[in-house]
Amino acid sequence: MLDLRIDNATIYDGSGAAPRFGSVGVKDGRICDLGEFADAARTRVDARGLALMPGIIDTHTHYDAQITWDPYANPSPALGVTTVVMGNCGFTIAPCRPPDRDLTMRNLTHVEGMSLDALRHGIDWGFESFPEYLDMLEKKGVGPNVACYVGHSSVRTFVLRDDASKRVADADEVKRMRNIVTEAMEAGACGFATTRSYQHNGEAGIPMPSRLADEHEMISLSGALRDGGKGVLMMTKGSHIAMSWIESLSAAADRPYLVAALLHSSIAPELAFNDLADIAAARTRGRRMYGAVSACPLTFEFTFHEPYPMEGFRCWKPLMQMDDAAFRTALADPKLRAAVREELQERSLRVFNGEFDKLFVTQAADPAHSSYEGRSVADLAASGGSDPLDFMLDLALSEDLDTLFTATLLNSDEAAVGKLLRDDNAIISLSDAGAHLTFLCDAGFGLHVLGHWVREQCQLSLEEAVRKLTSDPARLFGIRDRGRIEKNAWADLLLFDPDTVGRGATTRVYDLPAGASRLTTLATGVHGVWVNGTLVADSDGICSDAPFAGRVLREFDA
């Protein structure tokens, strides 16, 4: 007898082929029947009018800390995600010595927008090495399937300790780091991740450790993946990094390279497309390179207590090291404001590029300013005859920095974003699920593709979108028997209504450790999500009695 059969479904198998109507049978976590068959099942689902696809594979998450206290990786399974890839940008918590835990957490609070109290109360530190981290996750259990990069900044901190963000490593330190990367790959890491982005800073604006790595270190650590002949390299590169250099790292390792974050900027619209063109050229030379693109507009909620969108400006770096009084004085300084305006004249892919017409006052702290809510800073400044930067900073200062702003920062040009999504050299990614919790929640990126880009914008066919969300990332990472609906594949499945599927409105909840807040979103049109044949979410979200059905993925094809 089967454990599960789903009947009368329109089946999108993940290959990109046209759908077919039929049934799927599941036993012992795998698909064993497909099409028409008579086997009875303990559980039967009538999917008439609904579509069935492989579960979404989210290749860019930051659940490394959260999953130690929340094995479900909330909210991703409720949003159709059955496999998460963690450790992106090299922001991991393993390996980590006990004396370095506070340093690691302080880095994450800033670069990933996480509450230090939540991390201190929540992280289970039942590990020191990377292999021990994977072992711990297996022992505790996980809701979705989990694949983990070994992260450059954690490896660097493990070897250089307090110097990790201060200096270049010597030859012996590089050798020790390479040994850790090799050990992690042998234990089951899916690859090696790093960042070179100027936007990626720890507490007080200290660069994330990987940004201090020199050429020798980068080539050596990337080359460690050649030893085992498997694994993916990943980098968030920053606009100052040449794609030709990343190609040399890919060549040193002879491994695929996934380059983030290729987002469209209305100020410098050619940059993301130039990067994809360079990746395409590298592929003609035999390099397996891909660009990570986002399906979502990059929208942040923020106050000037944590003004992450401004931290891409060089002139802002000193402010990140100031105490509160000095910071407020600096915000009022005409010299700072002039310096920001000067940098805004540069064509660069910063998070914030001066588009004040896309920056709104969401919630005023002073009731006298309630009429500002829902209006753009550009509009408000023009109404008062002031400069928009001055208006924004003056308003924040007048409200004790409590003014809540919402800014659409990148990926706002839908025609351009649609072109990025269709590019053969692109992987649809960049949800950042588990990070920037106080600023955004794009964990529903896959549902946004199915609803907005397929149904509403007609930029992708449904079968093409399903392939890009499932079998394409599975193939890139060498994830075995996932990303397809076919016999003997693991039954990671998403049942949805194509007419209503999408992601709902973003809301703020206070369910993190120590009562810290995060932004989350609900699914629309999702009827069931199965991980390894077990129902983990339905139309009401993650099932309250859902078992830890996921697996820690530790074996990958070359």
Dist. CA 224–CA 154, nearest whole Å: 16
- pLDDT score for 156: 98
Dist. CA 85–CA 60, nearest whole Å: 6
- pLDDT score for 204: 73
N-to-C CA span, the chain: 35
Last residue of a domain, one of 419, 449, 481: 481
**Does pLDDT of 367 surpass 90?**
yes
Q: What's the pLDDT tens digit per position in 243-284?
A: 999 999 999 999 999 999 999 998 889 999 999 999 999 999
351 falls in which pLDDT band (50, 70, 90)?
confident
88-102, 164-178, 343-357: which has the minimum mean pLDDT? 343-357
Same-domain pairing of 203 and 218: yes
What average pLDDT does this structure show over 236-245? 91
- pLDDT score for 202: 79
Same-domain pairing of 151 and 262: yes
Mean pLDDT (the chain) is 95
- pLDDT score for 441: 92
Same-domain pairing of 466 and 373: no
- pLDDT score for 113: 76
Instruction: Please report which helix (H) or strand (E) contains residue 31, including its range.
Output: strand 30-35
- pLDDT score for 487: 98
Count of structural domains, the chain: 2
Tokens of 385: 């005859």
Residue 70 lies in a domain: yes
- pLDDT score for 480: 96
Q: What's the pLDDT tens digit per position in 544-556?
A: 999 999 999 999 9
- The string of DSSP letters for 150-182 reads EEHHHHHHHHHGGGTTTS---HHHHHHHHHHHH
Residue 120 lies in a domain: yes
Same-domain pairing of 422 and 395: no
Q: What's the pLDDT tens digit per position in 454-508?
A: 999 999 999 999 999 999 999 999 999 999 999 999 999 999 999 999 999 999 9
Dist. CA 467–CA 451, nearest whole Å: 15
**Does pLDDT of 114 surpass 90?**
no
Tokens of 11: 């089946």
Residue 31 lies in a domain: no
Residue 23 lies in a domain: no
Residue 558 lies in a domain: no
Same-domain pairing of 307 and 234: no
- Are the C-beta atoms of 453 and 481 separated by less than 8 Å? no
- pLDDT score for 109: 84
* Rg from Cα positions in the chain: 23
Place of tokens 């030859």: 171
Same-domain pairing of 183 and 93: yes
Last residue of a domain, one of 463, 481, 499: 481
Count of residues in the chain = 558
- pLDDT score for 277: 98
* pTM for this model (two decimals): 0.94
Give me the residues paired with residue 528 across strands: 495, 538
- Are the C-beta atoms of 425 and 283 separated by less than 8 Å? yes
Same-domain pairing of 291 and 306: no
**Does pLDDT of 536 surpass 90?**
yes
- Are the C-beta atoms of 403 and 391 separated by less than 8 Å? no
Same-domain pairing of 85 and 224: yes
- pLDDT score for 70: 97
Residue 458, burial from CB neighbour count under 10 angstroms (0-12, 13-18, 19+): exposed
What average pLDDT does this structure show over 98-112? 89
Q: Domain with 156 in it: what CATH number?
A: 3.20.20.140
- pLDDT score for 347: 79
- pLDDT score for 267: 86
Same-domain pairing of 238 and 312: no
- pLDDT score for 115: 86
**Does pLDDT of 107 surpass 90?**
no
Residue 522 lies in a domain: no
Residue 128, burial from CB neighbour count under 10 angstroms (0-12, 13-18, 19+): middle
437 falls in which pLDDT band (50, 70, 90)?
confident
Residue 49 lies in a domain: no
Residue 149 lies in a domain: yes
Determine the 3-state secondary structure of 247 from DSSP. helix
**Does pLDDT of 42 surpass 90?**
yes
All residues at 6 or more sequence positions from 201 whose CB lies less than 8 Å from its CB, including other chains: 110, 111, 207, 208, 311, 320
What average pLDDT does this structure show over 358-376? 96
What average pLDDT does this structure show over 445-452? 98
- Whole-Å CA distances, 265 to 243, 296, 351, 420: 18, 13, 9, 12
Q: What's the pLDDT tens digit per position in 410-420?
A: 999 999 999 99
Same-domain pairing of 117 and 240: yes
- pLDDT score for 205: 77
Dist. CA 497–CA 130, nearest whole Å: 40
Last residue of a domain, one of 376, 409, 442: 409
Q: What's the pLDDT tens digit per position in 128-163?
A: 999 999 999 999 999 999 999 999 999 999 999 999
Place of tokens 């969300």: 469
Residue 526, burial from CB neighbour count under 10 angstroms (0-12, 13-18, 19+): buried
Number of Cβ atoms within 10 Å of the Cβ of 284: 7
**Does pLDDT of 112 surpass 80?**
no
- pLDDT score for 61: 98
Q: What's the pLDDT tens digit per position in 400-410?
A: 999 999 999 89
Residue-number span of the structural domain to which 59 is assigned? 55-297+411-481
Place of tokens 């023009």: 382
440 falls in which pLDDT band (50, 70, 90)?
confident
Dist. CA 64–CA 41, nearest whole Å: 36
Q: What is the DSSP letter of 201?
A: B
Among residues 370, 369, 344, the alpha carbon closest in space to that of 356 is found at: 344
**Does pLDDT of 391 surpass 90?**
yes
Tokens of 71: 């094995």
Same-domain pairing of 390 and 256: no
Share of the chain above pLDDT 70, in %: 100
Peptide bond between residue 334 and the one before it cis (omega within 30 degrees of 0):
no
Same-domain pairing of 329 and 190: no
